[in-house]
Amino acid sequence: MIALTECVAPSFYEIHKDIKRYGHTHYWLSGGRGSTKSSFISVELILGIMSDPLANAVVLRKVKDTLGESVKEQLTWAIEALGVSQFWDVPETKLVLTYKPTGQEIRFRGADKPKKIKGLKYARGYTKFIWYEELDEFTSMEEIRMINQSLMRGGKKFTVFYSYNPPKSANNWVNTEVNFTRDDRITHHSTYQTVPIEWLGEQFIIEAEHLKLTKPKAYEHEYLGDVVGTGGEIFDNVQTRKISDEEIEEFENVRRGMDFGYSVDPLSYNVMHYDRKHKRLYIYHELYKVRLSTHAAYLHISEENKKNDYINCDSADPRTINELLQYGLRVGGVKKGPDTVEYGVKFLQDLEAIIIDDQRCPETAREFLSYELDKDAHGNFKAGYPDKNNHSIDAVRYAMNDEALDFRERMKKNKPDTSTSEGRAAANLARYDKPIKKKRGEFVG
C-alpha cells in the first residue's frame, strides 16, 4: 500500500478531495517550476481509471511529437509511484497506456489540427478524463471548447485538467480566461515552496535562490508562476465577479454608453453604475454583436432601458444616432477632441476598481483584461492607445464622458478632485498653502 502523501504535495490535498466528490468539472492548475501540478494530475488519472471501470482518458499537448517524452513519461512515473505497475501495460513505442484488468485506456493526442480530434470509441466506457498539458501552447479557448465538445460525450461525469505555467503577459488568452467565473470551474495555483524539499533536491533550491538574487523578475515568473506582465498592460484595476440582482437594484448613478459598428466591428452597448465616493465602476450589462441592425439594437435597448435614460454615443455616426432618435431613444453624441481618448482611458485607469460581471458581460471583461499597448518592430511600446479590440472600452468611455472631461481639466490644471472628501480636503489645504503676495518693502510675519 502506498500513501498518497508520498506522491501528492500538501497544496493539492483539498483539490484531491474536490475531485473525489465531483465538486467541479474543470480544474485549472497553474504554477511555476517544481510545483508538481503535472505529477498530481498524473496520479489522479491513474487512480480515477482504476476506481471507475467505465473511465478512459485523453491527454493532449499542442504538438504530438512532445507527448512521448513528457506526459507519457509523467504517467509512467505515477504508475510506478503508486506501486501498480503490474496492472498496467506500458508499451515503449505506442502512445497508449492500458489498464490490464479491464482494457481501459489512456490515449495521447496532439492538437496540431484540433478539428480532427473526434469523439473516441473504446472497448469499454467513455472519455471521462481529459488533460491539457502546457495549456498556454494552445491557440485559444475556442480551440479548447472545440476539442471538449468532441470528447465530452457518452458519460455522466467528466473531469478536465488544464496545467500550465502562466505566460508573462496578462494579454495572453490563458491569463484572460482564468479570470472568468464559472460554477463548474476551480482554479488552483501552486509553487515549489509547498513541496517537500527532498522531492526537489538541494540543487533545485540552489538554482531557484540564485535566480531570485540575480534576476528577481525572472524568478517570480519561472519559479513562482506569477503573471509579471510585459509592462504594456493598460488596466490593472479590473475585477471580475458576479454582480447580484440585489446590488443592481441599489444602483442609482447608472450610466449608458454605445459604440457603433456593423459589418466587421460589433455594436457595443454597456450599462454601468458609478460609485463616485469610492471611485468604483460596476459594469453589469452588455450588448455586443456584429451585423446588428439599428432596429434590432433599439428593441434590445428599449427592453433593458425601460425608463429611457439618456445614452452617450459615438458622435462619429450621426446617421445611426438620428435613426435611434426616430425610434424614440434618448441618445446623443459625446464631445470629442484630440485628447479625449487619452484622458478617457486615464480616467478609467485612475479608478480604484472597474468591477465587471463577466457572466453578464463576457466581451467587456475580455477587452478590459487583455487591452495592452502595441509594440514596434524593435519591441518597444508605441505611443498612444491601440484602436482595436476596444469597442466595449469605447462604450464605457462614452458613458463616463462627463467625468473624463472633468478629469482632463483637473489634470491639466493639477487640481484635486473635489467630488470626494479626500479631494475636498486637499483643495482646502491647497488654499492655505499658496504663497502670500506682498508689496515691495512690506514685512509679513
State how far the alpha carbon of 133 is from the alpha carbons of 2, 28, 221, 313, 363, in Å. 26, 11, 18, 44, 26
All three cell numbers of 271, joined, read 450599462
Residue 222 annotated as catalytic: no
Cα pseudo-dihedral 179, 181, 185, 188, rounded to 10: 40
DSSP lists the bridge partners of residue 110 as: 61
Angle at 392 between CA 365 and CA 347, to 5 degrees: 90
Could you say which of 134, 222, 367, 403 is catalytic?
A: 134
Q: Is 359 exposed, middle or buried (0-12, 13-18, 19+ CB in 10 A)?
A: middle
Residue 376 in 3-state DSSP? coil
User: E strand or H helix at 424, and its extent?
Assistant: helix 421-433
Angle at 400 between CA 290 and CA 358, to 5 degrees: 50
Distance between CA atoms of 268 and 390, rounded to whole angstroms?
A: 10
Residue 240 in 3-state DSSP? strand
All three cell numbers of 72, joined, read 507519457
Residue 25: name the closest of 148, 133, 186 by CA.
186
State how far the alpha carbon of 112 is from the alpha carbons of 60, 94, 152, 212, in Å. 10, 19, 19, 36
The backbone torsions φ and ψ at residue 415, rounded to the nearest 5 degrees and listed phi first, read: -100, 145
Distance between CA atoms of 15 and 259, rounded to whole angstroms?
A: 43
Q: Is 18 exposed, middle or buried (0-12, 13-18, 19+ CB in 10 A)?
A: middle
Distance between CA atoms of 105 and 215, rounded to whole angstroms?
A: 44
DSSP lists the bridge partners of residue 313 as: 258, 333
Angle at 170 between CA 273 and CA 130, to 5 degrees: 105
- The set of catalytic residues is 134
